[in-house]
């Protein structure tokens, strides 16, 4: 099924060229902790130099281009580290960059258009983001350490701990719904005052957050969780 006209990415493609088509791949590079000025290197070469499995790299890059080809069968146990680092870096991006950016836009709008609605939007976003932070903290403090422990020495780990893929999925649905509502309220219902340009920036910023959170969720759901379950099942036997 195709809804996008973006390039379907393959390992022998030159990475640099793809950024011209979809600049959000730069964000992906940051999540991988890689530099994006890569001269003429192919994806394969870049992955080789940084010891990343090109299968996982290509599949994640394709997510950014609108194709979901994630398939845990293509990845190995050692890729868990790559994935966890990627997700951790995205957490930093949400916490350190995206949230403050959105909050500061809301504050600026409040200065121009101090209405009840915008005040409530500010509150709504605050509550929404606290939920996101709770979830990110849960991953940073419970889920990820558990995964890494599992990789290092599976015998010493407490069983399954509090980690549950189901919890993540519920959180995610809730987070999605709230973000969608925020966009709906700002786009369809709350009248514009002098905040037109600021609100446009705010809405675009919300879409960017949504876009990245969505990819984040897919990676957890279709790549990380199955890999973890495979290891856990291996220990049970």
Q: Does 1 bind another protein (CB under 8 A)?
A: yes
> Binding to another protein by residue 177, rule CB under 8 A?
yes
Contact 18, 62 (CB under 8 A): no
Q: Does residue 5 bind another protein (CB under 8 A)?
A: no
Task: Decide: is 181 part of the binding site for another protein (CB under 8 A).
Answer: yes
Q: How far apart are CA 218 and CA 237, in angstroms?
A: 28
Judged by CB under 8 A, does residue 3 bind another protein? Answer: yes
Which residue of 73, 116, 159, 236 would you call a contact of another protein, by CB under 8 A?
116
Q: State the number of binding residues for another protein (CB under 8 A).
A: 21
Which range in 76-84, 100-108, 177-185, 210-218 contacts another protein by CB under 8 A?
177-185
Sign of CA dihedral 192, 197, 199, 200: positive
Residue 37 makes contact with another protein by CB under 8 A: no
Residue span binding another protein (CB under 8 A) among the ranges 59-67, 120-128, 147-155, 198-206: 120-128
CA distance 55 to 58: 5
Q: Which of 73, 189, 236, 237 binds another protein (CB under 8 A)?
A: 189
Q: Single out the residue of 75, 36, 37 nearest to residue 57, CA to CA.
A: 75
- Alpha helices (H) along the chain: 15-21, 24-31, 43-49, 54-64, 79-92, 99-112, 116-138, 144-152, 165-184, 196-219, 225-236
Both ends of the chain: CA-CA distance in Å?
39
Residue 93, CA distances (Å) to 27, 41, 215, 222 in order? 9, 26, 14, 22
Distance in angstroms (rounded) separating the CA atoms of residues 151 and 168: 21
When asked if residue 196 is in the footprint of another protein (CB under 8 A), the reply is no
Q: List the one residue from 185, 203, 218, 231 that touches another protein (CB under 8 A).
A: 185
Smallest distance from another protein to CB 181, Å: 4
Q: Of the two residues 2 and 20, which places its CB atom closer to another protein in the complex?
A: 2
Residues that bind another protein (CB under 8 A): 1-3, 116-117, 120-121, 123-124, 127, 177-178, 180-182, 184-185, 188-191
């Amino acid at each position: 099924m195709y809804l996008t006209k973006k390039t379907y990415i393959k390992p022998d493609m030159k990475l640099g060229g793809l950024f011209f088509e979809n600049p959000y791949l730069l964000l992906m590079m940051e999540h991988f902790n890689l530099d994006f000025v890569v001269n003429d290197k192919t994806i394969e070469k870049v992955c080789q130099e940084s010891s990343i499995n090109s299968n996982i790299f290509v599949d994640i890059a394709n997510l950014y281009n609108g194709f979901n080809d994630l398939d845990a069968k293509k990845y190995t146990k050692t890729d868990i580290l790559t994935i966890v680092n990627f997700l951790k870096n995205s957490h930093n991006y949400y916490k350190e960059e995206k949230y403050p950016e959105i909050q500061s836009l809301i504050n600026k709008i409040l200065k121009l258009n101090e209405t009840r609605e915008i005040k409530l939007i500010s509150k709504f976003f605050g509550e929404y983001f606290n939920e996101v932070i709770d979830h990110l903290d849960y991953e940073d403090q419970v889920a990820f350490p558990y995964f890494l422990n599992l990789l290092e020495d599976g015998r010493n780990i407490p069983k399954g701990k509090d980690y549950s893929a189901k919890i993540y999925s519920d959180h995610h649905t809730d987070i999605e719904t709230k973000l969608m509502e925020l966009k709906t309220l700002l786009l369809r219902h709350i009248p514009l005052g002098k905040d037109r340009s600021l609100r446009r920036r705010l809405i675009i910023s919300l879409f960017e957050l949504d876009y990245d959170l969505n990819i984040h969720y897919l990676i957890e759901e279709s790549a990380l969780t199955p890999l973890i379950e495979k290891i856990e099942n291996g220990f049970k036997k």
